[in-house]
Homo-oligomer: A and B are copies of this chain.
Amino acid sequence: MTSRATRAAGSDEAIAAGSAGDDLIELLFFAYRDFVGDPDRILAQYGFGRAHHRVLHFVDRYPGLTIAELLDILRITKQSLNRVLKDLIGQDYIAQKTGTSDRRQRLLFCTPAGTALAGDLIDVQARRVARALAEPDPGVGTGLATAESFLFGMIEPDERAAVRRLMARRIRSVA
């Protein structure tokens, strides 16, 4: 018997493990889907993808980042990183400098163009976050309700009705 089956049987341990969080898990999917959608549209105009975005973002925010640090943050292989990094360096969005204390290291920095693009990308995402935070909060509820409210607010406004309609199928059948 799986743990989920146990939860269906209504054990306290199982409920504590988070049956109530199932909606939140789904909202995280929808929130992230729309969250990355904004920058994707901008990046496409430059011939870049999501991988380029991640590299650009972290280099912009943490100038002087080394290759090893970036690999640890992104959890990808050297080969994967190198592909996108080559693009960004070749098109002058990122520059490398040899490390001073350790000359094996390549310290990464954004060029002015890189900083500008990174700024545009974080702007569009920050706007979405700001809007989500400005949404009316259900008030004194559980942390769960607050988290769900925030994630729902991250969803593209035009899509919220569809998500609400979909999730209502399930809420009805449970409550």
Contacts and interface: CB of A to CB of B under 8 A. Distances in A.
Interface in A120-138: 120, 122-123, 125-127, 129-130, 133, 137
Interface in A121-175: 122-123, 125-127, 129-130, 133, 137, 142-144, 146-147, 150, 162, 166, 169-170
Contacts of A123: 2-4, 7, 17
Contacts of A106: none
> Chain copies in the assembly?
2
Query: Interface residue tally of chain A, by bracket?
Result: 35 or more
Contacts of A129: 18, 21, 24-25
B120 A17 contact: no
Contact of A17 (B19, B126, B147): B126
A24 B120 CA distance: 16
Interface stretch (A28-36, A80-88, A94-102): A28-36
